[in-house]
Amino acid sequence: MIRSMTGYGRAEVSGPRLTVWAEAKSLNHRTLDVNLRLPRLFSGFELDARRLIQSSLQRGRVEVTVGLGSATGGTITPVGVNLEQAREYARLATEVAGALGLGRGPDLEWVLGQPGVLSREEPATLTPEEAWPLLAEALGGALAQLVARREAEGQALAEDLLALHATLVSQAGMMAERVPVAVDRHTARLRERIQTLLGETPIDEARLATEVALWAGRTDVTEELTRLRVHLSEMARLLREGGPVGRTLDFLIQEINRELNTIGSKADDLELSQLVITGKSTLEKLREQVQNLE
């Protein structure tokens, strides 16, 4: 199934002592760019977490945040106390109070408010054997939701892309139909010009045929139209089969654009040139939509 590159997922897993939640959201990007934020408790699993993300996604700017909560609900804000630092503040404050004759030392609130006394720190409450399954389940759940939403949006994009593809196929068909008409029209115009110059003198049909053949050789786009049809056929196959096709479709669109440019540069026919311009307009719409695909 085709996926878009935008989506969101969130999952929460409860253990006996901790709740682990994971949130994943993604936006468009040419490659896979992962921004992962883990609590210190899980910092040793960063590589494993990244492998899990990379196994689920191919493209997109992905932001993943993992957090901790208490087993009974709420967010854990673990706090550590530096008793040595607290004692030093209390000693100095008592000494200064005595020297100034203030008669009382510092209270607990003042001591706890001094820099370096209280600090937030991650609780070492889980062994690695306990921590990784919780992290993997929460992260896997968030990624599964993210992928499901990307697939739902990708399906809608695929329908739009197939409609644009059908339009471009039709335009390529009109280009192919126009080629022999352009030859006939050029032949008629050339005949008319020569006849005007010669007056009553009969036209040398062999010479006229040679001139038309030379012109047709310079403006022949048969090979370009053949390659164009092959690329369009491959595009249809990819859109129907699905999967991470964004990069391949990017490449095909570049190749289709190259063929259309060549046809446009060779075309010595106004209607064919206009068809090429219309085809390039459709291709640009395809390109814009493909930028949203994984």
Mean pLDDT, to the nearest integer, of 221-241? 90
Are the C-beta atoms of 138 and 22 separated by less than 8 Å? yes
- Of 5-19, 58-72, 91-105, 141-155, the least confident: 91-105
Mean pLDDT, to the nearest integer, of 53-62? 93
Amino acid (one-letter) located at 22: A
Q: Which fold has domain 7-76+122-152?
A: Ribosomal Protein S5; domain 2 (3.30.230)
pLDDT at 140 over 80: yes
DSSP lists the bridge partners of residue 25 as 8, 63
pLDDT at 39 over 60: yes
Enumerate the domain spans of the chain.
7-76+122-152, 79-120, 153-290
- Rounded to 5 degrees, φ, ψ at 74 are 90, 165
pLDDT at residue 9, as a whole number: 96
pLDDT at 251 over 80: yes
pLDDT at 50 over 50: yes
For 68: left if phi > 0, alpha if psi spans -120 to 50, otherwise beta; the answer is beta
Is the pTM here over 0.75, yes or no? no
**Average pLDDT value for the chain:** 84
pLDDT at residue 70, as a whole number: 67
pLDDT at 121 over 90: no
Residue 230 pLDDT level (bands cut at 50, 70, 90): very high
Those residues whose C-beta lies under 8 Å from the C-beta of residue 167, and which sit 6 or more positions away, are: 282
195-207 as b/e: b if 16+ CB within 10 A: eeeeeeeeeeeee
Mean pLDDT, to the nearest integer, of 26-51? 92
Which tops the pLDDT comparison, 170 or 219?
A: 170
